[in-house]
Copies of this chain bind each other. A is one copy, B any other.
Amino acid sequence: MSFTITEENYIKAIFHLQQEDGNVSTNALAAELHTKAASVTDMLKKLKLKKLLSYEKYQGARLSIEGKKLALAIVRKHRLWEYFLVDTLQFGWDEVHEVAEELEHISSKKLVEKLDAFLGFPRFDPHGDPIPDSHGKMAIQQQVNLIDLPLNKPAEVCGVGSQSTQLLELLKHKHIGIGTRLEVKKTFSFDHSIEIKIRNQNSFTISQQLAQALFVKPV
């Protein structure tokens, strides 16, 4: 069975909105895919026929086993290509998302497996998100939100909570990137800002919003 790019994008969007909780609503999907609710209804009927999801009128949708398998295959390709772009082609980690959105729809199974092997079977992409293996299994991330990191515990930045250019601009300015080592030195309850220290630099404070957008892992 093979699917159109549009169908794959719907499946991926449902997968991302589904995480545990209940069914995905028509409106939520329309927003995620920058389309209209009426279009979503049509597509959900079609994807139900193809047995990729369960769907009842007015009740939203939920991926079937088949649908989840497809979603994981797409996510796998997306993240492997992101890793390739950053690691092999030296792209900035803030400029790979768009390109990977296209590459994730290349269908060759063999290509994915060869690419995975060439890259050395990476388990996390440049944004810190886990890459599903060829069976769809993902490593569980022991990453923690920077806001939750205990004082004076050395950690390494391993992911960001968004791909907005505004965030990435700020990170570039502060010289924070994937792999940056840091410790939290102090927290301020007034505005929930926190003071962090990067190796060989003076400490400085960052806003609550920024800290919430950063994921770190103890090192």
Contact = CB atoms under 8 A, between A and B. Distances in A.
Counting contact residues on chain A (CB < 8 A from B), the size range is 10 to 19
A111 interface: yes
A207 interface: no
Interface string A80-123: 00000100111100010011001100111011001100100000
B102 A107 contact: yes
A106 B102 contact: yes
Contact of A114 (B91, B103, B110, B114): B91
Contact of A108 (B98, B107, B108): B98
- Protomer copies: 2
Interface string A44-87: 00000000000000000000000000000000000000000100
A169 to B, nearest CB: 18
Nearest to A89: B114
A99 B103 CA distance: 12
Given A89-B114, A89-B118, A114-B91, A102 B108 contact: yes
A111 B99 contact: yes
A7 to B, nearest CB: 16
A216 B88 CA distance: 33
A115 B85 CA distance: 9
Interface in A106-152: 106-108, 110-111, 114-115, 118
20 contacts: A85-B111, A88-B118, A89-B111, A89-B114, A89-B115, A89-B118, A90-B114, A91-B110, A91-B114, A95-B110, A98-B108, A99-B106, A99-B108, A99-B110, A99-B111, A102-B106, A102-B107, A102-B108, A103-B106, A106-B106
Interface of A: 85, 88-91, 95, 98-99, 102-103, 106-108, 110-111, 114-115, 118
Which 8 interchain pairs have the tightest Cβ spacing?
A: A89-B114, A99-B108, A102-B106, A99-B111, A89-B118, A103-B106, A89-B115, A88-B118
